[in-house]
Amino acid sequence: MNTLLKLKKVNLKYQTGKKNISVLKDINLITKKKESISIVGESGSGKTSLIMLIGGLERATSGKIFFQNQEITKLSEDSISEIRKKNIGIIFQSFYLIPNYTAVENVALTLELNKFKNPEKEAKMLLERFGLKHRFNNLPGQLSGGEQQRVAIARAIAMKPELILADEPTGNLDTENSIMISEILFKYIKEEGSSLIMVTHDQKLANKAKRKIKIKDGKIK
């Protein structure tokens, strides 16, 4: 009952020219609700690919993926969008805020999409929690990297998703900012009871997670 994610014999292959590259091989994985997991592994081992599969942003070549007991590998693009919209928040290494939207608008976007009553107000409350009160109406270009990532986190968690996916969230940040971001993330999942799957190279950050998964050559070790 407590299962959030279930991956059964999941394979991912990429076709480059005539060659088939096997990126993920027979992945089996079960995660529970409220669990925090860190994924570590060498560059090119398939960490990002795994996150993309879980987030429904890439289709598995074979195997089954269940999210909350629903088999998402069978669903249409739009239905996956629907699940992602409600349940999954994603944080990227390079932040990716919409450049001509202010901080508040970037966060409000997901809230609005999930039909929140007062998206701007909620967005402001969140940003305030993350110490960005004085940056509400700044465009991403006017924010520092750390600030941008805080806005991106706010965007990902605004609709209180069941699962947060993060791909090297601190990879583009200095130590000070990295610490701040990790504190915010872990504090948040503790308070809201969300689950977190995070790819990171940062050992300290990886150790903060309850469970650590190591990937090598497309296989879970």
Partner 1 sequence: MVKLNNSSDLKLVFKYALKDFSRNYKKILSIIVTLYISLFILSAIFTIEDSLKKELNDNAKSLLGGDLEIDYNRNQGNLDLINQVKEFATVSQMIEFSTMISTTNREKNKSLFTRIKTVDEKYPLYGKVVYEPKGAYERIQKEPNTILINESLTKTLNININEVIKVQDQLFTVVGIIKTVPDVSGFVAFGDWALAGKQTLEILKLNGIGSFLNYEYKVKFNHNDNAEILEKKIKNIFKNDQKVKLRYPENSASGLKRIISNFSQFLSLVSISAMLIAGIGIANTLLSFINHNNMSIAVRKAVGFYSGNIKLLYYMQLFILLFIITIFAYCSSFLIVPIADKYLSDGLGLNINPIFSFLNFLKIFLVGFLVLLIFSIPTINAIDQVKASNLFRNVFQNLQFYYSKKSITISIFLLSILILLFTLGSENPVYSLGYFGAFFVCLIVFFLLSKLIIFSLKKIKSFSNISLNVSIKNITQTKSITPITIMSLGLGVTLLLTLALVGTNFKREIAKSIPDIAPDYFFVGIQKGEREKFEQSILSMDPNASIEIVPMVSSGIVKINGINPNTYITPDNDSYWVIGSERRSSWAKKVPEDNPIIKGKWWDLSKNNQLQISLDAKVAKDLNINIGDIFTLNIYGREIEGEIINFREVDYRDLSINFAMLFNPQFAINIPHEYLATTKFDNLDKFNEIQMLKILPSLSMIKIADYLNKVTSVLNKVFIAVTLISTVTIVIGLIVISSAIMVQGKVKEFQNLVFKILGFSKKKVVFSSLIEFIIIFISVILIAIFFAVIGSKFIMENIFELVWKFDVIVLIYLGLSIGLVTLLLILLTNLKYLNPKIYPLIRNQ
Q: How far is the CB of 73 from ligand ADP (least distance, A)?
A: 18
38-77: contacts with ligand ADP (CB under 6 A)? 41, 43-49
Q: In terms of CB distance, is 48 or 194 closer to Mg ion? A: 48
48 binding Mg ion? (CB under 5 A) = yes
38 binding Mg ion? (CB under 5 A) = no
101-130: contacts with Mg ion (CB under 5 A)? none
167 binding partner 1? (CB under 8 A) = yes
At 44, which helix (H) or strand (E)? none
Query: Could you tell me the strand order of the sheet in which 219-220 lies?
Result: 88-91, 163-167, 195-199, 36-41, 211-216, 219-220
Among 57, 129, 138, 219, binds partner 1 (CB under 8 A): 57
Residue type, 72: I
84/2 Cα distance (integer angstroms): 19
Residue 32 partner contact from partner 1, Mg ion, ligand ADP, none using kind-dependent CB cut-offs of 5 to 8 Å: none
Q: How far is the CB of 101 from partner 1 (least distance, A)?
A: 8
Q: What count of other Cβ atoms lies within 10 Å of the Cβ of residue 211?
A: 12
Show the tokens assigned to 1. 């009952």
* C-beta of residue 55 within 8 angstroms of C-beta of residue 87: no
How many alpha carbons lie under 13 Å from residue 143 in its C-beta half-sphere?
29
Show the tokens assigned to 167. 């791909």
Sketch the per residue contact string, 63 through 82, with partner 1: x for CB under 8 A, - otherwise: --------------xx--xx
Interface contacts to partner 1, rule CB under 8 A: 48, 51-52, 55, 57-58, 77-78, 81-82, 84-86, 90, 92-94, 96-100, 105, 109-110, 112-113, 115, 155, 167
